[in-house]
C-alpha cells in the first residue's frame, strides 16, 4: 500500500480580502435603485476596493458621473449610453460588454481597465488615458480619441470605422486584427497596415 499522501486541496486558502473580492464580483455590479430617507433615488456602483459609489439617478443612462472615483468599479455589461464620465477615475475597472455609446469620457482614466467587447461607438474619448487597458473586440466606431494616451493598450480585433485615432502612443499599442475604413483618421505618418490593422477602402 502506497504511503504517498494525497495532495491537500485546502493547502492554498483564499485570504479574507480575496474571498471578499470574489463575493463582491459575484453579486450585482450595480446596486438596484433604492430610495434614501430624503426621498432621493440612488444607484450604488460596486467597486473591488470596497469604496462603493452612490449616484443620484434612476438609471446610468445619461447619468452625470463626471469626476467620480470609480477605481476598480464593477460595471460589466452595464448600459451607460450618453452618460457623462468626464474626468472620471476608472483605473482597473471591469467594463466588459459595457455600453458607452454616445457617452463622454473626456479626460477620464481607463488605465489598466478591462473593456473587452465594450461599445464605445460615437463616444468622446479625447485626452483619455487608456494605457495598458484591454479593449479586445471593442467597438470604437466614430469615436473621438484625439489626444488620448494609448501606449500599451490591447486593441486586438477592435473596430475603428470612422474613428479619429489622432492619439498618443498608437504605434506602441497592439492593433493586430483591428478593423478600420477610409474614414478612420490616423496620426501623421502612421501606417495602420504595418501594425496589423485591416483597412477597408
Rounded Cα distance between 93 and 35, Å, is: 26
- Arch. (CATH architecture) of 60-201: 3 Solenoid (2.160)
**Cβ(69)–Cβ(53) under 8 Å?**
yes
pLDDT at 102: 99
Q: In this structure, what C-alpha cell is assigned to residue 90?
A: 476608472
Domain boundaries, the chain: 60-201
30 — pLDDT class (breaks 50, 70, 90):
low
**Cβ(90)–Cβ(114) under 8 Å?**
no
What phi and psi values does residue 193 have, to the nearest 5 degrees?
-60, -30
pLDDT tens digits for range 118-159: 999 999 999 999 999 999 999 999 999 999 999 999 999 999
2 pLDDT higher than 70: no
pLDDT at 77: 96
27 pLDDT higher than 70: no
**Cβ(54)–Cβ(30) under 8 Å?**
no
What DSSP line would sit under the chain, residue for residue? ---PPPP-TTSSPPPHHHHHHHHHHHS-SEEEEEE-TTS-EEEEE-BTTS--EEEESS-STT-B-TT-B-TTBB-TT-B-TT-B-TT-B-TT-B-TT-B-TT-B-TT-B-TT-B-TT-B-TT-B-TT-B-TT-B-TT-B-TT-B-TT-B-TT-B-TT-B-TT-B---BSGGGSB-TT-EEETT-B--TT--GGGGT-EEE-
pLDDT at 95: 98
Report the 3 state secondary structure along 135-163: CCCCECCCCECCCCECCCCECCCCECCCC
Amino acid at each position: 500500500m502506497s504511503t504517498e499522501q494525497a495532495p491537500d486541496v485546502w493547502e492554498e486558502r483564499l485570504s479574507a480580502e480575496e474571498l471578499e473580492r470574489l463575493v463582491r464580483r459575484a453579486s450585482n455590479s450595480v446596486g438596484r435603485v433604492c430610495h434614501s430617507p430624503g426621498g432621493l433615488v440612488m444607484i450604488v456602483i460596486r467597486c473591488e476596493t470596497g469604496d462603493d459609489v452612490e449616484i443620484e439617478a434612476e438609471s446610468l443612462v445619461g447619468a452625470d458621473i463626471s469626476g467620480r472615483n470609480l477605481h476598480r468599479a464593477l460595471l460589466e455589461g452595464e448600459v451607460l449610453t450618453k452618460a457623462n464620465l468626464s474626468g472620471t477615475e476608472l483605473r482597473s475597472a471591469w467594463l466588459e460588454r459595457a455600453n458607452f455609446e454616445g457617452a463622454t469620457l473626456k479626460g477620464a482614466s481607463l488605465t489598466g481597465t478591462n473593456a473587452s467587447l465594450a461599445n464605445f461607438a460615437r463616444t468622446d474619448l479625447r485626452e483619455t488615458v487608456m494605457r495598458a487597458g484591454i479593449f479586445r473586440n471593442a467597438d470604437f466606431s466614430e469615436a473621438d480619441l484625439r489626444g488620448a494616451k494609448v501606449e500599451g493598450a490591447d486593441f486586438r480585433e477592435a473596430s475603428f470605422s470612422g474613428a479619429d485615432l489622432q492619439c498618443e502612443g498608437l504605434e506602441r499599442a497592439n492593433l493586430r486584427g483591428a478593423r478600420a475604413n477610409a474614414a478612420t483618421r490616423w496620426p501623421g505618418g502612421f501606417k495602420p497596415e504595418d501594425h496589423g490593422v485591416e483597412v477597408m477602402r
